[in-house]
Amino acid sequence: MERASLAALSPGMPVLFGGDRVTHVSDALAAAFRPGDRLIVVQETGDLLHVPAAAHAVAAAAVTRATSAFGEMGRVADDQVSAFFEAFAARLEADQSWAPIARANADDVAAAKARGRSTTRLVATERMRADMIAGLRAWGAAEPSRGRVLERVDHRGWSVEQVTAPLGPVGFVFEGRPNVFADAAGVLRGGNTVVFRIGSDALGTAQAIVRHALDPALAAAGLPAGACALVESADRAAGWALFSDPRLALAVARGSGEAVAQLGAVARQAGVPVSLHGTGGAWLMADGAADADRFAAAVFNSLDRKACNTLNVCCIVRARADELIPRFLDALHRAGERRGHGCKLHVAEGDEARLPDHWRTARAVVRRATGDVEEPLTETLPSDQLGREWEWEDSPEVSLKIVADLDEAVALFNRLSPRFSASLVSEDPAAHQRFYEALDAAFVGDGMTRWVDGQFALNRPELGLSNWEHGRLLARGGVLSGDSVFTIRTRMRQTDADLGR
């Protein structure tokens, strides 16, 4: 078959995808495409992704560095890996090396605000700094995961062992959160290497972390320079280029739902396994046996800030609605007061009559990424939209649904949510057992929702939290951390020289 390089696109050009469907090149895409550029056709959706030659070159160079470094990691001692984590943590802890990182972050935050972008996860606060340091030191103190014997089978004259081994270069695409370096660097604990591509909002901060903390730590510990490689491009196409590189052993993506799903599709069709978490938002249910004080505390403590495990939907059984709705509204109001910018409620259509008059008629100033906006305090929401995740800034935002019973709440969760996380507040042990058995979720609790976090719950910085939106996971838990990125090698030891078959 004759093959040639794609040098140009023409408006309206048909492009086959999915085996039996056709999409067409837009005028804008045809005009932007240049010789040397690449076109990724997403086979699941027909999306045409334009990857400029420069973005592809930057991503490919980073993967090359990580691949080369992986070849050297087999000669790196576990003590050196521990020394790397300590050196990285020490540099983040030292004010001299943190100062330029903080300045770069301030510039990133100012630029993001000027573009009307969310900055709630972008600001490198002292708490974030402390969490990064603690996470790195936790990896430094962790037991080495490579070379661990999982199983041994003894035969007469010989034996076989199943042994953990490094997986390879791991690619990460993250939203604009500076702390991802501490999370994702954990893959080095198992002898892997990592390629980062961070959201454009945080690129300056990322470059400063690499320059003033990460690269010096690699050098001080004697690790290969490309063991942690940053894709230094603000072009979103660099992420597509990274995930389409078949040299990756695993692709991990965190961020918004559609973008993550698209990245996952790109990686899968390149033959790269993926770990995705795009849609979040936790659910909280209160049944007929709920303790009102415990319920109110769970609501309040699940709304301290916006993250994937923040309370997004609350279901209250109708028999307790008169008592628990006021407690829910009070907790939501107090959560808004704590952040100083009010709150926002969405109530399922048909349930608005259960709210006090003030909540149905009042207006509130809600802080959005673009600034403060006056909106109705409460808006109705079709019940089939309960799966929508609210991405709020400083005004806690949540949906409320009144249900006939716990079975209806579970059915709504299984049908409409990303099947990520849910909690039940109830004093009935049998209800908790039914809830756990019927709920199709990766994370199940009995109080606040914000416990779903690798470092907070398991003392292991997470690379990602997986929901079950696209099906249950195969042989891996919902928390992907550095020490869970490995493959298995099989080693035979023969003591009988005359062994034969």
Give the pLDDT score at 2. Answer: 66
User: What are the angstrom distances between the C-alpha of 263 and each of 43, 178, 266, 281?
Assistant: 12, 20, 5, 20
Question: May I ask the CATH architecture of the domain 282-448?
Answer: 3-Layer(aba) Sandwich (3.40)
Give the pLDDT score at 56. Answer: 97
Query: What are the tokens at 159?
Result: 């034996």
Amino acid, single-letter form, for residue 397? E
User: What are the angstrom distances between the C-alpha of 122 and each of 125, 198, 478?
Assistant: 9, 11, 25
Q: SS3 string of 11-26? A: CCCEEEECCCEEEECC
Give the pLDDT score at 500. Answer: 87
Amino acid, single-letter form, for residue 172? F
Q: Which of 131, 133, 146, 132 is nearest to 80 (CA)?
A: 146
Residue 499 DSSP SS3:
coil
Amino acid, single-letter form, for residue 326? P
Query: What are the tokens at 363?
Result: 């207006």
Q: Which of 176, 200, 172 is nearest to 186 (CA)?
A: 172
Task: Judge contact between 278 and 468, C-beta under 8 A.
Answer: no
pTM of the full predicted structure? 0.82
Helix locations, 340-367, DSSP H: 357-361
Any idea where the domains of the chain sit in the sequence? 54-279+481-487, 282-448
Q: Which of 252, 253, 264, 241 is nearest to 39 (CA)?
A: 241
Q: What is the dihedral of CA 373, 377, 383, 387, to 10 degrees?
A: 50
For 154, other C-beta atoms within 10 Å of its C-beta total: 10
Query: What are the tokens at 427?
Result: 């004093």
Q: In angstroms, rounded to a whole number, what is the distance separating the alpha carbons of residues 117 and 100?
A: 23
Q: What are phi and psi of 377, to 5 degrees?
A: -60, -35
Q: In angstroms, rounded to a whole number, what is the distance separating the alpha carbons of residues 227 and 51?
A: 25
Q: For helices 78-93 and 95-114, what crossing angle results, to 10°?
A: 70
pLDDT along the chain (501 residues), means of 10: 82 94 96 96 96 97 97 95 97 97 95 87 91 91 89 95 94 83 86 93 93 97 96 94 97 81 93 83 96 97 93 98 97 95 95 95 90 94 94 94 97 94 96 95 93 82 73 65 83 92 84
Task: Judge contact between 422 and 285, C-beta under 8 A.
Answer: yes
CA angle 366–367–372, rounded 5-degree value = 85
CATH of 54-279+481-487 given 3.30.930.10, 3.40.605.10, 3.40.50.1010, 3.65.10.10? 3.40.605.10
Q: In angstroms, rounded to a whole number, what is the distance separating the alpha carbons of residues 175 and 200?
A: 8
Q: In angstroms, rounded to a whole number, what is the distance separating the alpha carbons of residues 168 and 35?
A: 32
Q: In angstroms, rounded to a whole number, what is the distance separating the alpha carbons of residues 102 and 55?
A: 27
Give the pLDDT score at 476. Answer: 57
Give 61's contacts (C-beta < 8 A, 6+ positions apart): none
Helix locations, 94-209, DSSP H: 95-114, 126-141, 180-184, 203-209
